[in-house]
Chains A and B, each alone.
Chain A
């Protein structure tokens, strides 16, 4: 992550101290790619607040904020994973169907038995690793473009689901469903901590591990990375595994919420394109190499605020999509301009 990176230009001189250091830090925040995302978020939040309040709705209330947080969890988790692969210059269109598959496998394996909870979670995580590995291998070893590769695996998973299940299936034990889906600490839902945990892990991966550095490198240029001695295939496969893992975690969470596995929970939520939109809205370059998960969180929040406002205003569903479309395009246009200025 390049969020708070004070642009000190001194090679040997440690001249940046005191107030000037603080100034540099501030410039660092404003110059970070995530800055306009949060600017936009604040703007949209304020507008939504005013409009909803005028129309007699409730916006800045604890229940409503909690509602927004709750609704952000699923998209947030999968978008965090999507950030990894997009930073790499790849993307993953199979997450939506993988979420469905994960929810079904979770619910059917648990089958109402509390003793099955842990095996089910492990099985589903293994499933995530497996599909991530498959996506990564198809992209690297078969040299299939990520768009087509993950579209293909999405279709394959869809076929498996539709062959195997024709409606909600399985049974998530009430205790697990309550714990993950509905428990709150004070006003904060338990599931929100799951989101925070996933985001923190990915933030940490990107900022402080070699794996993260390599994701930025490969996303910046695969050729350069290769010539610098990087094993690019491992990085690509690794990132796809993390992405698929976030998808199956989302699937587990949704199974807990709904107490059962549902064949269409992923595609109905639009998690494939929605997660990509959140990442791009969060300032990550679709071509890779620049951005980060902090921006993505902002992107998810923007979508959640919009969603909440539209629902309260009882917006026409089509008009809702038009507005969302305009906002996404406008955001990316603004980022492109900023990028040009910095170059």
Chain B
């Protein structure tokens, strides 16, 4: 085990929360300059393990050695000092502070006892330049940055700490395809500098592209650590879920499933959209592709009445509507599963039952709900969505990402929607739960719901959609039939085809 290049060793790590053991003796090692991928379903214990490494939790049992020396942390600061950097899935940035202030938070450089603002900004500028980021500067407030830009801030923050061990938790979950490439370049550069990287991801393609070894974690224990060259995607998935996953995606719809046009938008323009038209039929899943910032989410928000529309018309079931608030949209039969489920989809501190009933309670008064047909109980909703939880009173924040998403879905199912908009429906969700959500979306379509699905994961978009619309810089760049290829979509999304035409 203890070969010369061993950077980090975690041995026999055990951890319990309120009597429930979530890690049963995990062993993990990391070599200098290695990318070591950690895969496993959500709730398998990856995050807990990483938080132990970062000093957020202390292990009940087990040892951590960095370059052979045993360490124990009681505070994240101590982990940082010995060179452990971690970029969490949820970004840890202060929106009201600027980039430099965020990079150096807690360890601002001093000059004669005072914060050396200039040095801080200079060093931040240098770090930004190094990663080739020029779209923003050290003084830009983080509030103004996109998700991808915020991730760059997170990474340069870890880099400025001289991290020798860097944990990247689902780094690509929030990125569009072309941004992923930039991230990979960055990861490889860090690797050359001898940084050991623990790379957590659900996107197996990335794992194969980047890592030299893979550790599979399941139910709080290590299933196996293998060399990447010795295994293929299928083996890996089987190890992760412990069962054979045949098709990733449910079969597509057939022509008979298609009904009338449910949702039609004509010439929608807002501050970020220019003349976008689309329609979605009952029973159809329309995929909406595009790069981050191409206006996909903005379109969804405009249709849903969450953002103002400057011009253009929206028709729901043939009737022209003008939603000024999401409430009007919900009453008209729309549902919107947002990209950021923690901030916009769920009341994290409330129970599963309360979250499931959140939307329906606000649009239908209690006395009408009692006699309304088709309304499901919390128990039925949990069954339909195959939710795994302790009970209806469990607080949503304790659920894994996949189960949280199921609660969001249940919330909308209860309103008996006729049009559903999904924005990144499986972001940060493990393989097993992903398939469950895909099945559910297809089943909804089969039952006659019109589905508009935004996704940055092209395999998902291609596998699920009956039709694919591609956006580029606020416009609709084109439409592709079911089964379009990734290059076809990327061509439209990057605008390379427009230039050629």
Contact = CB atoms under 8 A, between A and B. Distances in A.
Interface of A: 5-12, 208-210, 212-214, 216-217, 220-221, 223-231, 285, 289-290, 342-343
Contact of A8 (B77, B114, B137, B143): B137
B94 A289 contact: yes
Nearest to B106: A230
Interface string B99-128: 001000111101001110100000001001
B92 interface: yes
A229 B77 contact: yes
Given A8-B137, A11-B128, A343-B143, A227 B92 contact: yes
B137 A227 contact: no
Contacts of A7: 139-140
B138 interface: yes
Given A210-B108, A213-B101, A213-B105, A10 B137 contact: yes
Contacts of B125: 11-12
A327 to B, nearest CB: 25
B140 A217 contact: no
Nearest 7 CB-CB pairings of A with B: A220-B94, A229-B77, A230-B106, A11-B137, A224-B92, A290-B96, A208-B114
B76 A227 contact: yes
Contacts of B139: 5-9
Given A6-B139, A9-B137, A221-B92, 20 more contacts: A7-B140, A11-B125, A11-B128, A12-B129, A208-B117, A209-B114, A210-B115, A213-B108, A220-B95, A220-B96, A224-B92, A224-B94, A225-B106, A227-B56, A227-B92, A228-B92, A229-B77, A229-B79, A289-B94, A342-B143
Contacts of B92: 221, 223-224, 227-228
B96 A228 contact: no
B4 interface: no
Contact of A11 (B77, B97, B101, B136): B136
B75 interface: yes
B228 interface: no
Interface of B: 54, 56, 75-77, 79-80, 86, 88, 92-98, 101, 105-108, 110, 113-115, 117, 125, 128-129, 133-134, 136-140, 143, 157
A258 B108 CA distance: 44
Given A9-B136, A217-B97, A230 B115 contact: no
A231 B96 contact: no
Contacts of B76: 226-229
A285 B143 CA distance: 15
A6, A212, A224 — most chain B CB neighbours (10 Å):
A224
Contacts of A9: 136-137, 139-140
Nearest to B56: A227
A342 B141 CA distance: 10
Contact of B105 (A6, A10, A228): A228
A279 to B, nearest CB: 16
B54, B80, B98, B108 — most chain A CB neighbours (10 Å):
B108
A230 B77 contact: yes
B75 A229 contact: yes
Contacts of B98: 5
A208 B95 CA distance: 20
Contacts of A225: 94, 105-106
A9, A209, A223, A342 — most chain B CB neighbours (10 Å):
A9
16 contacts: A5-B98, A6-B139, A11-B128, A11-B129, A12-B128, A213-B105, A214-B105, A216-B94, A217-B101, A220-B95, A223-B92, A227-B54, A227-B56, A227-B86, A230-B77, A231-B77
Contacts of A231: 75, 77
B300 to A, nearest CB: 19
A8, A228, A342 — most chain B CB neighbours (10 Å):
A228
B96 A208 contact: no
Nearest to B114: A208
A226 B106 CA distance: 9
Nearest to B81: A229
A9, A216, A220, A227 — most chain B CB neighbours (10 Å):
A227
Contacts of B157: 228
Contacts of B114: 208-209
Contacts of A226: 76
B112 to A, nearest CB: 10
B86 to A, nearest CB: 8
B161 to A, nearest CB: 8
Given A8-B137, A216-B101, A229-B80, A208 B115 contact: yes
B68 to A, nearest CB: 24
Contacts of B128: 11-12
Given A11-B129, A216-B101, A209 B94 contact: no
Nearest to A223: B92
A342 B140 CA distance: 13
Contacts of A220: 94-97
B69 to A, nearest CB: 20
B94 A213 contact: no
A231 B17 CA distance: 24
Contacts of B140: 7, 9
B166 to A, nearest CB: 15
Contacts of B129: 11-12
B4 to A, nearest CB: 30
Given A11-B137, A209-B114, A214 B106 contact: yes
B223 to A, nearest CB: 29
A10 B134 CA distance: 8
Nearest to B54: A227
Contact of A217 (B80, B105, B134, B137): B105
A23 to B, nearest CB: 15
B56 A213 contact: no
A342 B143 CA distance: 9
B138 A11 contact: yes
A45 B485 CA distance: 67
A8 B128 CA distance: 15
A26 to B, nearest CB: 16
A282 B155 CA distance: 35
Contacts of A224: 92-94, 105
Nearest to B117: A208
Given A224-B93, A289-B96, A11 B110 contact: no
B88 A221 contact: no
A255 to B, nearest CB: 33
Contacts of B93: 224
A172 B26 CA distance: 69
A5 B128 CA distance: 20
A34 to B, nearest CB: 14
A217 B446 CA distance: 49
B258 to A, nearest CB: 40
A341 B232 CA distance: 50
A229 B107 contact: yes
A230 B92 CA distance: 12
B88 to A, nearest CB: 7
Contacts of B143: 342-343
Contacts of B80: 229
A10 B136 CA distance: 7
Contacts of B134: 11-12
Contacts of A209: 113-115
Nearest to A204: B114
A285 B94 CA distance: 14
Contact of B96 (A6, A11, A216): A216
Nearest to B104: A213
Nearest to A342: B143
Nearest to B55: A229
A8, A210, A229, A289 — most chain B CB neighbours (10 Å):
A229
